[in-house]
């Protein structure tokens, strides 16, 4: 949450910072602001609302520019999303500017202390205390990085901070604790950002910052030096890495929205996530999972922790893990997990699923699990992010950058990664024979083509979505792995269309939710394959009849050729036949398209739904 950019180099800092903020706007869009040291002073501008408001302000009242600058796009935590609470925050003389992502937990005490010393704080934010503390520290030590270290030692909570000072105009300083910050290293220039997307147009060389580290970017004649230290001032190990996607991957590529582009990219994302993980003989090779075979053979319980859409991927993974490995598996909301004192030990494998790799609830859950001695395997889409760094092992999904706030391609690739982990566990523990593993791997390899087929038949789904734009409620039903798909369909609709949408296990209908059914209420039903476990299929066909008899308008997602369901479907969405456990990979796609089109028809902002942010770095 909140996007941060810092720049030092030969280009116009303001332009670089604004372009970076545009790429980070998905992280928060309550307000935006910039600051540049220039002409012996500090120039700053900030505006409530989206970045466009700030750009308008800058067009009306341009700022001078120099070689250094910082910027921020906000997702509000402390204080309303207005101009005063927008970042950057300045000290009283207006010499230091600070941008911040996270929450400073002891800010009230620090604020009171500053007020006693005569500082006047003008916002309701926790951030503002940092600019005042930095100002004091700089006055006594004359070095912005040292001032930042001194201040960070006094702060509690989670924070990424980036600052500039009018008296040291060639320097940008950053710090991080439990909140993301990466360094981009270009030719004679360097960048700080919450996410590499902010500087990928300039460089693909990056440096990971560790916990409790301060970084200084200092411009010296034509070069820029990057120095990383701990909060205590000791030299820190620098971990450079190469970003393996380029700027075009983060562009809309002709689509109206990132979400549409990301939905369309799913076949490739699924195929890329399988790439290199299947050997010539068709068996699984997950050498990157560094948890040794003997440890995996000892595992007697799997616990999956995740939030939102990633949690839904985890719910589906539970079916595959238990079926293929016979190890008991629980899937739990990361935000609930550590507060209920879960039973964990050395024989528990915890799987943390996260697209961003920065979700605070998931991070806290995995830390708790490791403290209890459990091994943690991360499934993550973001290289070098905190969750994989703090896990024992990681399986990266190769979805590429996901910019739209609503997760789509990340979800499908999380599912693929979960299936791979489940099969791998089965392979290592001998609960799955080699030819069984190879057969599922073959079926997984067919999925990219099947997702493509689904995408090619989506026009009737879009038409249907448009016709429902004035509805208030849509319900979603599913059974078995179709139940988490129903939850995911409802979540997509809530977050994008701002409609009342709920997902239910179809078997629960009679225990309450059926009371909601009324004339013409749209109910989406995810139907399991009539092949395989036909008992599930027959039961859901009865459920469809029950709701239809009470007036529901049934929107049925069913396997092509499923004639038994056709008479009861007011709208039939056909998907390709897949094995039962893999069906979510194709059944989810129409629900993504449905939600995206409904949101568009209702005039909502598809890529940046209200009140949300892509990366939730606070608990």
Contacts to ligand F6R by CB under 6 A: 307-310, 354-356, 359, 362, 406-407, 491, 495, 615-616
Task: Please say which residue, 270 or 428, places its beta carbon nearer to ligand F6R.
Answer: 270
84 token code pair:
């005063």
**Cβ 537 to ligand F6R shortest distance, Å:** 29
Q: Which residue has the tokens 């523990």?
A: 429
What's the CA gap between 148 and 216, in Å, rounded? 10
**Cβ 363 to ligand F6R shortest distance, Å:** 9
DSSP 281: T
Whether 155 contacts 115, CB under 8 Å: no
List CB contacts of 236: < 8 A, sequence separation 6 or more: 210, 213, 228, 229, 230
Neighbours of 511 (CB within 10 A): 9
DSSP 345: -
**Cβ 498 to ligand F6R shortest distance, Å:** 14
Nearest to 479 by CA among 584, 575, 552, 330: 584
List of E strands, 170-257: 171-177, 182-185, 190-193, 205-208, 213-220, 223-230, 239-242
What's the CA gap between 4 and 192, in Å, rounded? 8
Task: Please say which residue, 131 or 588, places its beta carbon nearer to ligand F6R.
Answer: 588
Whether 155 contacts 128, CB under 8 Å: no
> Shortest Cβ contact with ligand F6R: which residue?
308
**Cβ 402 to ligand F6R shortest distance, Å:** 8
**Cβ 380 to ligand F6R shortest distance, Å:** 8
**Cβ 213 to ligand F6R shortest distance, Å:** 22
Task: Please say which residue, 97 or 270, places its beta carbon nearer to ligand F6R.
Answer: 270
Known catalytic membership, residue 47: no
The torsion angles phi and psi of 28, rounded to 5 degrees, stand at 165, 145
**Cβ 311 to ligand F6R shortest distance, Å:** 7
In terms of DSSP H, where are the helices of 51-188? Answer: 51-60, 107-116, 128-141, 144-152
List CB contacts of 290: < 8 A, sequence separation 6 or more: 392, 393
Task: Please say which residue, 178 or 354, places its beta carbon nearer to ligand F6R.
Answer: 354
**Cβ 495 to ligand F6R shortest distance, Å:** 6
Task: Please say which residue, 501 or 616, places its beta carbon nearer to ligand F6R.
Answer: 616
Task: Please say which residue, 27 or 553, places its beta carbon nearer to ligand F6R.
Answer: 27
Whether 400 contacts 249, CB under 8 Å: yes
Of 2, 329, 418, 596, the active-site residue reads 2
Neighbours of 110 (CB within 10 A): 21
Known catalytic membership, residue 2: yes
Task: Please say which residue, 76 or 224, places its beta carbon nearer to ligand F6R.
Answer: 76
Sheet holding 500-505, edge to edge: 500-505, 473-478, 522-526, 553-559, 571-575
Neighbours of 238 (CB within 10 A): 16
Nearest to 436 by CA among 321, 282, 273: 282
Task: Please say which residue, 213 or 359, places its beta carbon nearer to ligand F6R.
Answer: 359
Nearest to 592 by CA among 259, 256, 250, 251: 259
The catalytic site residues sit at: 2, 614
């Amino acid at each position: 949450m909140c996007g941060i950019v810092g720049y030092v180099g030969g280009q116009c800092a303001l332009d670089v910072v604004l372009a970076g903020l545009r790429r980070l706007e998905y992280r928060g869009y309550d307000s935006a602001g910039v600051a540049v040291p220039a002409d012996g002073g500090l120039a700053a501008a900030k505006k409530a609302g989206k970045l466009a408001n700030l750009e308008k302000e800058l067009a009306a009242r341009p700022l001078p520019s120099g070689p250094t600058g910082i910027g921020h796009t906000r997702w509000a935590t402390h204080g309303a999303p207005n101009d005063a609470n927008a970042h950057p925050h300045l000290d009283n003389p207006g010499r230091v500017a600070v941008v911040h992502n996270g929450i400073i937990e002891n800010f009230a005490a620090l604020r009171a202390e500053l007020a006693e010393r005569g500082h006047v704080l003008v916002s309701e934010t926790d951030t503002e205390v940092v600019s005042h503390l930095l100002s004091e520290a700089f006055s006594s030590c004359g070095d912005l990085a040292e001032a930042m270290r001194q201040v960070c030692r006094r702060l509690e909570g989670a924070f990424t901070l980036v600052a500039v000072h009018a008296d040291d105009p060639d320097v940008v300083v950053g710090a991080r604790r439990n909140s993301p910050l990466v360094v981009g290293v270009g030719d004679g220039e360097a960048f700080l950002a919450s996410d590499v997307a902010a500087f990928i147009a300039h460089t693909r060389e990056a440096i990971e910052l560790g916990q409790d580290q301060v970084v200084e970017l200092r411009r010296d004649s034509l070069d820029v030096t990057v120095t990383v230290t701990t909060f205590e001032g000791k030299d820190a190990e620098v971990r450079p890495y190469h970003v393996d996607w380029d700027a075009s991957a983060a562009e809309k590529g002709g689509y109206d929205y990132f979400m549409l582009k990301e939905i369309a990219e799913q076949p490739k994302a699924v195929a890329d996530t399988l790439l290199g993980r299947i050997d010539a003989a068709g068996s699984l090779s997950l050498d990157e999972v560094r948890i040794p075979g003997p440890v995996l053979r000892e595992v007697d319980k799997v616990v999956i922790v995740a939030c939102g859409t990633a949690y839904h991927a985890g719910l589906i993974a539970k079916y595959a893990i238990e079926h293929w490995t016979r190890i008991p598996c629980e899937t739990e909301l990361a935000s609930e997990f550590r507060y209920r004192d879960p039973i964990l030990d050395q024989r528990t494998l915890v799987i943390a699923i996260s697209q961003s790799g920065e979700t605070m609830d998931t991070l806290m859950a995995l830390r708790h699990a490791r403290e209890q001695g459990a091994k943690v395997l991360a499934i993550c889409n973001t290289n070098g992010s905190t969750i994989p760094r703090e896990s024992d092992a990681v399986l990266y999904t190769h979805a590429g950058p996901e910019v739209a706030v609503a997760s789509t391609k990340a979800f499908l690739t999380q599912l693929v990664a979960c299936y791979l982990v489940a099969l791998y566990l089965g392979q290592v523990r001998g609960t799955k024979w080699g030819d069984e593993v190879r057969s599922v791997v073959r079926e997984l390899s067919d999925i990219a083509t099947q997702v493509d087929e689904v995408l090619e038949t989506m026009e009737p789904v879009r038409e249907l979505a448009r016709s429902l734009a004035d509805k208030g409620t849509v319900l979603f039903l599913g059974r078995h792995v179709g139940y988490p798909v129903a939850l995911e369909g409802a979540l997509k609709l809530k977050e994008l269309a701002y409609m009342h949408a709920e997902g239910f296990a179809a078997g629960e209908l009679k225990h309450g939710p059926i009371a909601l059914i009324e004339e013409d209420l749209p109910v989406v039903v995810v139907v399991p394959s009539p092949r395989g476990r036909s008992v599930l299929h027959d039961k859901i066909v009865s459920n469809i009849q029950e709701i239809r008899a009470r007036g529901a308008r049934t929107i049925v997602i069913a396997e092509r050729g499923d004639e038994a369901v056709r008479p009861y479907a007011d709208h039939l969405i056909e998907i390709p036949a897949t094995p039962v456990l893999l069906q979510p990979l194709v059944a989810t796609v129409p629900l993504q398209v449905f939600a995206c089109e409904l949101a568009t028809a209702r005039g909502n902002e598809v890529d940046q739904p209200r009140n949300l942010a892509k990366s939730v770095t606070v608990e």
